[in-house]
Amino acid sequence: MQIAIIGTGNVGGALATQWSKKGHHLNLGVQDAQNFKGKKLLQNPNTQVFHIAEAVAKSEVVLIATPPTAIFDIIAMVGDFSGKIVIDATNTVAKKPEPYATVYHCLTDKTNAEVVKCFNSTGFENMLNPVYDSEGIDMFMAGDSQKAKEITKQLALDCGFGTCWDFGKGDKVELLEKFALSWINLAIIQGHGRNLAFKVIKRQ
Ligand SMILES: NC(=O)c1ccc[n+]([C@@H]2O[C@H](COP(=O)([O-])OP(=O)(O)OC[C@H]3O[C@@H](n4cnc5c(N)ncnc54)[C@H](OP(=O)(O)O)[C@@H]3O)[C@@H](O)[C@H]2O)c1
């Protein structure tokens, strides 16, 4: 699959690395191709760099892993998102993309992409290595597009996550950001460390 990575920092870099190992084609979308965070990702297999609009044009799936307020610049640069699956991995921890509650809400209002919120609920180290005691930890996604969810679930499995729970439709996106805050609370604020992950257990 051709995947554009917009935001090639901690999260974009971790997911790009995992997907490149699985044979996906990674199109890093950056503002300055000479100088961007994650330049070493170009050493990964199947990985090239383009300006943001070109990376999106070449790709079926687009990962947004930037500060939330960057979404306005990105939408302006890309223009047309028709036919694209867009995965929003951002969290509005510090600053919301006003007047929207989340990047997901901005994308569903301002573009015609198939949007899903995913890869926001754990630390980037867990995306680079989602295996604890030989078992994949869980990932979670929310949004109104079934098509986006099917593709995103497979991409989560390709990263090594055990499964990707459907957290619900678009009305659960803010809850999924709060779930991410719960991870941040345990790992960072309560001081348990970033080597900590969520896994759902069900009784048969
Ligand atoms: N860190 C985590 O563990 C974690 C986990 C889950 C979710 N998240 C969320 O994921 C997002 C990214 O976090 P991160 O830790 O990966 O951040 P990061 O390492 O600081 O990377 C941010 C990336 O966004 C790019 N960027 C900034 N402004 C931009 C703009 N206007 N247009 C295009 N690209 C722009 C930066 O590009 P330049 O280098 O060119 O400036 C950089 O590649 C945040 O919303 C965060 O809340 C983070």
Q: What is the pTM of this model?
A: 0.98
34 vs 1: CA distance, rounded Å: 25
pLDDT of residue 93: 85
In the reported structure, the alpha carbon of residue 201 is separated from the centroid of ligand 1 by a whole-number distance in angstroms of 31
What are 88-111's pLDDT values in tens digits? 999 998 899 999 999 999 999 999
Alpha helices in the chain (DSSP H): 10-21, 52-57, 71-78, 103-110, 124-128, 146-159, 173-184
User: Is the bond preceding 99 in cis, omega lying within 30 degrees of 0?
Assistant: yes
Residue of 6, 11, 42, 121 best suited for mutating to test ligand 1, as the one with most atoms within 8 Å of CB: 11
84 vs 69: CA distance, rounded Å: 21
Please give the share of the chain, as a percent, with pLDDT higher than 70: 100
- Supply φ then ψ for residue 203, to 5 degrees: -80, 140
pLDDT of residue 107: 98
> Domains, the chain, ranges and CATH?
2-189 (3.40.50.720)
- Assess whether pLDDT exceeds 90 at residue 131: yes
Both tokens assigned to 126: 């867990």
Distances (CA, A) of 182 to 106, 118, 120, 122: 23, 15, 11, 9
pLDDT of residue 129: 97
Return the closest-CA partner of residue 11 out of 102, 112, 128, 101: 128
In the reported structure, the alpha carbon of residue 67 is separated from the centroid of ligand 1 by a whole-number distance in angstroms of 5
pLDDT of residue 117: 98
- CA-nearest residue for atom 36, ligand 1, is 7
Average per-residue pLDDT for the chain: 97
pLDDT of residue 94: 85
Return the closest-CA partner of residue 60 out of 143, 119, 1: 1
Average pLDDT over residues 139-152: 98
- Assess whether pLDDT exceeds 90 at residue 119: yes
> Could you tell me if 47 and 16 are in contact, meaning their C-beta atoms sit under 8 angstroms apart?
yes
Burial degree of 190 (CB within 10 A; 0-12, 13-18, 19+): exposed
Query: Could you identify the atom of ligand 1 that is nearest to the CA of residue 90?
Result: 45
128 vs 192: CA distance, rounded Å: 19
Residue of 10, 36, 71, 179 best suited for mutating to test ligand 1, as the one with most atoms within 8 Å of CB: 10
Please give the share of the chain, as a percent, with pLDDT higher than 90: 99
- Assess whether pLDDT exceeds 90 at residue 26: yes
> Could you tell me if 113 and 62 are in contact, meaning their C-beta atoms sit under 8 angstroms apart?
yes
